[in-house]
């Protein structure tokens, strides 16, 4: 049995004719599938998330002031260097 383009066209035309005759049933079937998928997604990402226990961080956050001061110093140096470019006079290349 060979599959030809004409057979595929005939089968698809037949399929769409049946679909057109039973459009209400098809729409109800598609709606039910959509409802099941929506319910599954809601259950998975809303209901189960609330049901599960949230793991909190047991260790307290450590604020490293020394590291923060070093970063702030570097940022201040960059800012001063950036502001210094406004007053620098560059030679005219032309």
Q: Quick one: 33 exposed, middle or buried, by C-beta within 10 A (0-12, 13-18, 19+)?
A: exposed
Question: Which residue stretches of the chain have pLDDT < 70?
Answer: 1, 51-60
Q: Report the half-sphere exposure of 54 (CA within 13 A, side-chain side).
A: 4
pLDDT at position 89 is: 75
pLDDT at position 57 is: 58
Which ranges constitute the DSSP H helices of the chain? Answer: 5-21, 23-42, 48-51, 65-84
pLDDT in tens, 52-64: 666 665 666 778 8
pLDDT at position 71 is: 95
Q: What is the pTM of this model?
A: 0.37
């Amino acid at each position: 049995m060979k599959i030809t383009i004409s057979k595929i066209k005939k089968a698809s035309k037949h399929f769409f004719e049946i679909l057109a005759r039973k459009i209400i049933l098809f729409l109800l079937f598609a709606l039910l599938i959509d409802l099941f998928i929506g319910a599954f997604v809601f259950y998975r990402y809303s209901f189960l998330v609330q049901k599960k226990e949230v793991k909190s961080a047991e260790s307290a956050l450590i604020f490293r002031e020394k590291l923060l001061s070093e970063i702030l110093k570097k940022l201040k140096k960059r800012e001063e260097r950036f502001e210094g470019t406004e007053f620098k006079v560059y030679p005219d290349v032309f």
